[in-house]
Amino acid sequence: MLGLPAHVRACLFDLDGVLTQTAKVHAAAWKEMFDNYLRERATREGTEFVPFDAVDDYDEYVDGRPRADGVRTFLAARGMHLPEGTPDDTPQAETVNGLGKRKNDLVLRRIREDGVEPYEGSVRFVHAAREAGLRCAVVSSSANCRDVLAAAGIEDLFEQRIDGVVAHERRLRGKPAPDTYLEAARVLGTDPDAAAVFEDALAGVEAGRAGRFGVVVGVDRVGQADQLRAHGADIVIRDLADLLQSR
């Protein structure tokens, strides 16, 4: 009745880009942070400034990953390596943690200024899933997940939240490793093969495939259907409401 295989008993949703219209906010914040850093570094070293691509670089290196992994992965692709630093680093520190702090400050500023809107089709789908008796959880790499859910007015729709804070506390590897999704299935009391993963990030669908979940639904908001399938999506849709229309 939900456009999913009959054996599915739980739905595990990514946050940014699946439930809320915040993926573009993250992409813009990553670009602002990296461009400022890359420009400063190019000026200091006398090299060419090559800006961060908010589509290709975002999709390939940072989307869906924990913040520090995103910093580390993108810089490595440019042949750059920084000290890790510590979680206590200031945003001014030239470390992985410092750049992560810069990016997070930019995201929080944009959310405060612009607010957070959920995708209407996603809200409809979650309500339908709950009415059908399916368990629902949010699985996000973001440490701001709870605040974003609350700002969007959808926090009460989900039984469990496995986010960046929980992942750190429980020492779970971030996407594309399947750990956070497996933990969500565990706390819901559901076997992975009876759970559906909903993801818009390439790293996220890789996590769903690696965890051998019952079905991995790729949510294509930006025209990357082929990439989502190549990375592990079983089904690709433009909006979660498309599944309701398929009944």
Positions marked active-site: 14, 16
CA 118 distance to own-chain centroid:
14
Q: Report, in angstroms and rounded to the nearest whole number, the Rg of the chain calculated over CA atoms.
A: 18
Q: Are 162 and 138 in contact (CB under 8 A)?
A: yes
**Which residues on neighbouring strands pair with residue 236, listed in sequence order?**
218
Task: Name the burial class of residue 187, with classes exposed (0-12), middle (13-18) and buried (19+) by CB atoms within 10 angstroms of its CB.
Answer: middle
Supply the DSSP symbol for 222: S
Q: Are 232 and 47 in contact (CB under 8 A)?
A: no
